[in-house]
Chain A
């Protein structure tokens, strides 16, 4: 009896790590936007939702192979990120933060109702059933393994871009000091646009991976949007490493909570954990104690 229990526990633990990869990817995109532009995209999960529809249409309707559809989808969502910045955020850069928050909230409404109008409210999926990897008595779906691997590769790529290229260095510099960098000859407008496109691209990558595991519908963003915000706050807004650690902590809680009860209760547990952590580490997991 005990052995079976342990195997389920181990399976849940590993699945938690796999889920953590995608959550970390989402948190990275949001943190990037916040760290550099100092704006929170309330509609971030809705960008992912549009990306998932993009994958559905490219793959199931136009019949493109997955490996061709995925890059197109990533570029599409990246372009949407840049457009979001250009059309909505840029005119509000000097406005009070509440107005920026609300404007992206309005975009959330727009994207949800756009999806309802354009795609209907039916649940759709790609119809790909990836095989399940059996390891002893434990079972892991390839979809999750693939998502975890791709998310890690995506994060390493962003790391390399941020540390090895001029644009990446400029992005990190702006995150440290917004005023000075403009004086140093960095075109902040261009950097903001590149950052928004990068954040959008990460949402697009997440969409390609999530669509393998979940059905897409206009309100799918609501099921992982709030958890992404919690992760970013727990890790410390704009703190990339903190967001990474927090994503895995949350994923483990959701996965282990789901082992004993429904998945929704996993979310509820994660929220309770979040409140407790706010008492212990209010400025984020990795913040220095003052």
Chain B
């Protein structure tokens, strides 16, 4: 069976799914997996080229909060609010990333600068508590008019289809970058910036382009998450914890394969959900504790991620000891 056909059948099956099976809880988990998969895929667009950003929690927060603030305070529809939020995230990415790339801030430095960025977005959300509700969180106002204009739907099937569409678009963008000249330029840059520059690659421009694409997509994920959950708080859509969660999931799944981040989202969300239900409401924090320990063990023992390790193992069965 050829590849496009397999993709087509898979996608058709996913579209058909809610019309056959519509258990609200399972659909809810699926919507969450799709939205987060899209966010993790966005992160991996940079991550696969060695640009380790810990600032994506910040971009996600910008996406969610700008959209909701525009709706609640100015009555701007999310159809305009989401692009505006994406624009803001893109501008923020430019302002932070340009000096980083222009002056060759890479590796640890880049990770720390972006880490601070997500911390600062969190501080701003808390500092402007008069508008954003601070650490208590924030709810988009229920619409009295059209559900479509407000992008608020009670039916989980609608959300499932929206999330599926966005997720598939994310994969399409991944594929498009994978086939473009940018991919080769970025791979050359991640190997050796000087050599890439000498070969005529505009290092700063290439890195900026991928960063802005990644940030804008992440903001979109944040906005969607806010619209779907109808509740956002600094802890769930911004800050260091969210940034780390993204990087983890992507690395657990594998960042060099298109479906890696999706696999990561499925594993981490299912794991969190199983732990949450397993420990019940009495044992607050235990689920996160086990989650954290498992993630550290993952990083130590499966550094290539699950899908990455699996593919490497399939390709070279003789070397499977170190996979």
Shortest distance in angstroms between A246's beta carbon and chain B's nearest beta carbon?
13
Judged by a CB distance under 8 angstroms, whether B124 is at the interface is yes
Judged by a CB distance under 8 angstroms, whether A191 is at the interface is no
Judged by a CB distance under 8 angstroms, whether A64 is at the interface is no
Residues of B within 8 A of A112 (CB): 241, 288, 292
Residue pair A105, B244 in contact (C-beta under 8 Å): yes
Residues of A within 8 A of B102 (CB): 279, 282
Query: Given A117-B284, A283-B103, does the pair A99, B119 have CB atoms closer than 8 Å?
Result: no
Task: Determine, out of A75-83, A194-202, A262-270, the stretch whose residues face the partner at the interface.
Answer: A262-270
Residues of B within 8 A of A265 (CB): 127
Query: Given A40-B111, A264-B123, does the pair A105, B288 have CB atoms closer than 8 Å?
Result: no
Residues of A within 8 A of B251 (CB): 98-99, 102
Judged by a CB distance under 8 angstroms, whether B285 is at the interface is yes
Residue pair B291, A282 in contact (C-beta under 8 Å): no
- Contact mask for chain A residues 76-116; partner B; CB cutoff 8 A; 1 contact, 0 none: 00000000000010011001111101110111111011101
Judged by a CB distance under 8 angstroms, whether B283 is at the interface is yes
Please tell me the number of chain A residues within 8 Å of chain B, measured between CB atoms.
48
In the complex, what distance in Å separates the CA atom of A72 from the CA atom of B124?
Answer: 37
| Cross-interface CB contact of B240 among A97, A117, A222, A271, cutoff 8 Å | A222
In the complex, what distance in Å separates the CA atom of A152 from the CA atom of B306?
Answer: 47
Task: Determine, out of A143-151, A158-166, A225-233, the stretch whose residues face the partner at the interface.
Answer: A225-233
| Cross-interface CB contact of A106 among B52, B112, B116, B295, cutoff 8 Å | B295
Q: Which residues 215-263 in A have Cβ within 8 Å of B in the complex?
A: 218, 222, 225-227, 229-230, 232-233, 237, 262
Residue pair A225, B111 in contact (C-beta under 8 Å): no
Residues of A within 8 A of B248 (CB): 102, 105-106
In the complex, what distance in Å separates the CA atom of A220 from the CA atom of B80?
Answer: 37
Q: Which residues 20-40 in B have Cβ within 8 Å of A in the complex?
A: none
Residue pair B111, A113 in contact (C-beta under 8 Å): no
Can you add 5 more A-B contacts, CB < 8 Å, to A109-B291, A117-B286, A226-B119?
A: A105-B244, A106-B295, A233-B113, A271-B120, A282-B102
The residues of A with any CB-CB pair to B shorter than 8 Å are 34, 40, 42, 88, 91-92, 95-99, 101-103, 105-110, 112-114, 116-117, 121, 218, 222, 225-227, 229-230, 232-233, 237, 262, 264-265, 267-268, 271, 274-275, 278-279, 282-283
The residues of B with any CB-CB pair to A shorter than 8 Å are 47, 52, 54, 95-96, 99-100, 102-105, 107-109, 111-113, 115-120, 122-124, 126-127, 239-241, 244, 247-248, 251, 283-289, 291-293, 295-296, 299-300, 303
